Amino acid sequence: MLVTGASRGIGAGIARELLDRGCHVGCGYRTGGEAIGKLAADHPGQVLPVRVDLGDEAGAPAAVQSVLDTWGRLDAVILNAGRWQGGRLTTMDPAQWWQVIELNLRGNAALARAALPALTRGHRPSVVLVSSVVGLIGHPGDTAYASAKAAMIGFARSLAKEVGRDGIRVNVLAPGFVDTDMTAAVPDRSRQVISDATLLGRFGTVAEIARAAVFLSEDATFCTGSVLSADGGWSI
C-alpha cells in the first residue's frame, strides 16, 4: 500500500490504522521524515518511508517503484496529501490560486497514473482520494481549495469508469472539520460556529476519518465511484 501525507494528521492516522491491520505501508511524506522514521521503528518491516512531493510530477513513478522494489506488489493507494491556502478570489494572488489547483489535482493525478499499472496486478486493488466536504458544497474564502477538491471528485468518478473492468475500485472520502494540527489554529469563536452547524456538535477525530478511509480502501469491495462524506452532518 501507499499512503501519501502520512507524516501527520489524517495521513498518519490512516497509516496507523492500516498497520494495526497488519498491512505493509509505504508512507509518503514531503516533510516530517522523523515522524515516519519513528513509525518505521515502531513497526519493523511494515513501514517504508517514501519521499513524495506533489509539486514534482516526475517523481511519482519513483515513489511507486520504491514500493514495488520493497514488497513486489502494490494493492492500494490512498492519496491523502494536499495543500490548503485560503483567500477570496478577488484578493488571492492568481499565481497562488493556481498553485493550489496544481498541487492538489495534478500531483494526485500523477500518482494515480503512475500506480495504475501496478494496481492491475494487485490484490483487490483500490484508489482512495481524500477530498473535502468543501469540494461538495463550497466555502467562502476557499475558491481555490474547493475547486481543487471538487475536481478530484470528478477525476475519481471518471477514473472509476476507466479502470473498473480492470478490477480497480476508485472512491473518494470527503472529510469535514477534523481536529488536526492544521485546524488547531482555528479561533475559538469560529470553532464554536462550526460545531454549532454540525449535527453531531463537534469536530471529527483523526481516528474516525482514518477508519473511513481504510473502509473505502479495504472493506468496501463493491463500491467504486462513491463519495463518502465524513463531516458529522455539517454539509446537510
Q: Is 145 a catalytic residue?
A: yes
CA quadruple 217, 167, 163, 227: dihedral, nearest 10: -30
The cell for 219 is 472493506
Q: Which CA distances in Å does 161 have to 85, 171, 226?
A: 31, 11, 11
Catalytic residue among 145, 155, 177, 203: 145
With both helix axes pointing from N to C terminus, report the angle between 107-119 and 143-163 in degrees, rounded to the nearest 10: 20
Burial of 161 (C-beta count, 10 Å sphere; 0-12/13-18/19+) = exposed
Q: How far is CA 75 from the centre of its chain?
A: 16
Q: Which residues are the active-site residues? A: 145
